[in-house]
Structure 1
Amino acid sequence: MKKVKTGLDILAANSKLQKTFKGNVALLCHNASVDSTYTHAALKFKHLFSERFVKLFGPQHGFATDAQDNMIETDHCIHPYFNIPVYSLYSETRIPTDEMLEGIDHLFVDLQDIGCRMYTYIYTLTLLLEKCIDKDIEVIVLDRPNPINGIEIEGNILESDFESFIGRHPIPVRHGMTIGEVALMHQKFWTKNQTNLRVIKMQYWERDMYFEDTELPWLLPSPNIARTDTPLIFPATVLFEGTLLSEGRGTTQSLEIVGHPKIEPFSFYENHLASVIKKSQLEGFKLRPITFLPTFQKQENEVCGGFQIHVTNKSTFKPWRVGQLLMRELYNNLGEAFEWKKPPYEYNYTHEPIDIINGTDKLRHWVVNNEPLEILDALECLDDYKLKLDEIKIY
């Protein structure tokens, strides 16, 4: 198995390809936008395109990827080294303005996604594609791996009534696409008008790969996705952003743990959760009782009891189901200590945050009514989505 080459690696090594971009160039990127030698894309672009490299853009969490949380915006600035504007697409706007796009002939997108519907970089991309429909701008996606593979699909399809910036399109929670394939899916199924789009494919990436199989360097794509295991656990733990339980922000294990000051983890696991998990027949993971102290965000400076999700078999682990099961059991055993987070969430001031995250209110009702796992099967209707995915796959 050969080391994967990203779209950035392909571009940087191909002088003939570089010469097809004749005008001014801009780049949407973040901390994880590096080539296989850890060189940042912006440095590559400075060397490749010189004075034609005129603008930078950053997604949620910023170009520097240092903004911690939802609804924490980043400012526009002039970069002190590159001496070009850096425009934030998580600021007063999530859509690039006409002024931001002036003087650009080619706009490259180099973002490491994590394969989950609730992660916003794919929506920064699709908003950009929609904005460029009537612009004389070519959008080029430098493709990167889906770190939790391109085969496994899991979770309910987003319902249109619950669209938000963490869910714009009818896809499942674990969507199985690379970011380049998201762009192709958008152009084929989610818009009536086409953008001038090009996807620079990876080499040697195969759909059954997890990120560690690629031999590429892993860098934080956002401040709380620290390890290569975290993206696989994220479809479980992101659900708890819709509650007042901690999902580990303010610890070194963020988005791998869940807890609350009212949980005594060992007794809850031994006397209840262990038998529930066994009965569920869910596999590929272990819940480890832990105690932790969040230093910021929810339950700040409160000692929490909870659980760390350890993946023991990637091929059998079903994170969405595990997260929903854990949510149901905590809701129905914590009593008044369990609280749903109140709006706003990702600039939606009307719907319950948990419903925005789930892309439906049916899953909240499933939790509250303590319904069986078989109901999840009925909510996971993926046949039509899989047919669409087969049409746009490029690997």
Structure 2
Amino acid sequence: MGLSRRGLLASATAAAVAPAPPAAAAGHRGRHRTGFERLAAAGYDRLDGQRVGVVTNPTGVTRDARHIVDVMHADERVNLVAVFGPEHGFRGTAQAGGSEGRHDDPATGLPVYDTYLKSGRPLAEVFTASGVDTVVFDIQDVGARFYTYIWTLYDCMEAAQLAGKRFVVLDRPNPVTGRAALGPVLHREFASFVGRQPIAQAHGMTVAELARLFNGEFLATPVQLDTVTTTGWRRSEFYDTQGLPWVPPSPNMPTPDTALVYSGTCLFEGTNLSEGRGTTRPFELLGADGIDGRWAAAANELALPGVRFREAYFAPTFSKFQGTTVGGVQIHVHDRAAFDPVHTAITLLVTAKKVWSGFAWRSDDWIDKLTGSTWVRTAIDAGADADEVAAGWRTELAAFRTVRREYLLYG
């Protein structure tokens, strides 16, 4: 799998704020505080004397739904001099595959630099040009390897090291829990912006934990890393237990329900079926022109844990099948603790191929980028069922879980 096990190096270079004990019961949910809330409560002492730039997007909000950039800009204790926008932009106005470009933020007047599709020396030059001493990262992740914000984190860590900058990660909960890593592990020859390094498809980590993993295992030279943990979050808890507002991290991630299925059903981007973009339920609605109720019936016969499938018809307003009514399924998760998004998605791929003669992979083999190797595509084409497909990544996943354990911050 290519992991170097630089655990001791990571612990020497990453100074993490020790997490406080989690809340003892559901009635204590109010004790949860994000990394930013803890940073602010300590008077921003970690940023004292530093010119600060923040990598963030619309999810960087406080409990009362104010953006952290607006809060920090108004606080004389912070010398905030720049903002760095990822895919979709700092204020989130761009669609998938887009950004807002270099501009001045109308609300604060701060310069906003575009990080999308930048890495290495070009991104280091952006940090240098901005004049910052410390780069702060605060973006809500959704727990999937192919969600690009964690690779923005990776790229920014690498670039900050090259530019000689400190790097501070403000943590937030993994909205779909941090119980376990699931699915195939990326093979390095399939690295792209939807997967830079060999981690599992559903990584089961927070961004601060990922930052520690990246620093300890993947960066050629570790960055000067500081992580500010959350408090009051248990690994088994979902986002809606935290009392935090949900802000869509991207236009097609409208609710925590979307995040729950996304680490599996995003694989349908690699097929000729709609993954539900252009509907009010992206990644929960899947379908194509010519599919009928046999797909939902075939999937329900397998009695997958925690989920049922409804025969559904929908007409996407953009993306695949724009303006065409298509047939397919809607995913209904009734027991999210038992639900396995990756196994469910593999099952849906297998059953779709069986019941619909029009099934095809995207001609560019995008599925291989999403899954991290040729295995899923070739195994399904060879007639494997979902359990047989999963058996093909079992050894690599076990190895990743062992390394992952060294970098976890929460019980």
Q: Number of matched residues?
A: 378
1:389 aligns with 2:404: yes
Q: CA deviation at 1:355?
A: 0.5
Residue 196 of structure 2 is matched in structure 1 by 168
Pairs within 5 Å for 1:1-395: 1-3=28-30, 4-15=32-43, 17-18=44-45, 20-49=47-76, 52-69=79-96, 71-90=97-116, 96-102=123-129, 103-264=131-292, 266-270=293-297, 272-275=298-301, 277-278=302-303, 282-335=304-357, 337-343=358-364, 352-375=365-388, 376-381=390-395, 382-395=397-410
**Cα drift, residue 19 of structure 1:** 6.1
Please give the per-residue CA displacement for 1:74-107, whole angstroms capped at 9, x wherever unaligned.
3211112211211121156686241443310111
1:126-157 CA-to-partner distances (Å, cap 9, x unmatched) read 11111122333111100011111111221011
Match of 1:147, SS state, is coil
> 2:330 and 2:68 mapped to 1: Cα distance?
34
Where 1:96 maps in the other structure, the secondary structure is helix
Matched residue type, 2:329: F
Question: Aligned partners of 2:332 and 2:377: how far apart in 1?
Answer: 25
Provide the secondary structure at the position in 1 that maps to 2:39.
helix
Shift of 1:384: 1.9
Matched residues in 1 for 2:117 and 2:146: separation? 19
Change beyond 3 A, Cα 1:361–1:58: same
Equivalent position of 1:346 in the other structure:
none
- The SS at the match of 1:68 is coil
Looking at structure 2, the residues matched to 299 and 213 of structure 1 have their Cα atoms a distance apart, in angstroms, of: 36
Separation in structure 2 between the aligned mates of residue 77 and residue 137 of structure 1, nearest angstrom: 22
SS in 2 for 1:98: helix
Q: CA deviation at 1:49?
A: 4.6
| Identical amino acids, percent of aligned pairs | 30
* Contact 1:75/1:91 (8 A) holds in 2: no
Q: Does the aligned pair in 1 maintain the 2:181–2:200 contact within 8 Å?
A: yes
Q: CA deviation at 1:324?
A: 0.8
8 Å contact 1:116–1:175 — kept in the other structure? yes
Q: Distance in 1 between matches of 2:128 and 2:231?
A: 30
1:173, 1:132 → 2: CA distance? 26
Displacement after TM superposition at 1:385 (Å): 1.5
So what's the TM-score if we normalise by structure 2?
A: 0.88
Distance change in 2, residues 1:78/1:358 (3 Å): same
Contact 1:25 1:53 in 2 (8 A): yes
**Alpha-carbon distance in 1 for matches of 2:57, 2:335:** 30
Q: Secondary structure at the match of 1:183?
A: helix
Shift of 1:24: 0.8
Q: So what's the TM-score if we normalise by structure 1?
A: 0.91
Which letter maps to 2:65? Y
Change (3 A) 1:8 1:51: closer
> Residue 263 of structure 1 aligns to a residue in which SS?
coil
Counterpart in the other structure of 1:349: none
Write the letter of the residue equivalent to 2:401.
K
CA distance in 1, matches of 2:162, 2:294: 60
Question: Displacement of 1:67 after TM fit?
Answer: 2.0
- Matched residue type, 1:96: L
Amino acid paired to 1:88: D
What SS does the aligned partner of 1:241 have? helix
Q: Distance in 2 between matches of 1:377 and 1:28?
A: 38
Deviates more, 1:90-99 or 1:60-69: 90-99
CA RMSD of aligned residues (A): 1.8
Q: Which runs of 5+ in 2 are unaligned?
A: 1-27
- State the SS of the aligned residue for 1:215: coil
1:226 to partner: Cα distance: 1.0
CA distance in 1, matches of 2:107, 2:228: 27
Amino acid at match of 2:383: N
